[in-house]
Amino acid sequence: MIVGETHDNPVHHAHQAIVVEALRPAAIVFEMLGAEDADRVRPGLVASQEALGAILGWEGSGWPDFSMYYPIFVAGRDAALVGAETPRDDVRQAAGDGAAAAFGEDAARFGLDRPLSEPEQTLREAGQLIAHC
């Protein structure tokens, strides 16, 4: 299940925490964490908003205030955390040169070496607009 939000909307984050608490997922993927960040989170750290925010270096991350995200970590305290943050340079390259450039040799493996049909492109853009922020 994918649960998204508008990044600076505290109500959205509160709803995410409720969903996570109710579902008790085995894992939670955070787009704002790198793999190394997620690996540093231990159950005891979740007990303290300040300690967890510090270990993640949240204040300097550019993401909205950690107090909005912290309840999600608490609700998912038993879940494995996965960091899915894409390095900014890769995002810039994909935005500027297309996803195929960012994927390099693997572009063909994922079908990124050829354009989508116009109806498929339109459908995906509309879905992305609805799904993200």
Tens-place pLDDT, residues 93-110: 888 888 888 888 889 998
pTM: 0.71
Q: Which helix (H) or strand (E) is 29 found in, with range?
A: strand 27-30
CA atoms within 13 A on the CB side of 38: 17
Question: For position 54, what pLDDT does the model report?
Answer: 93
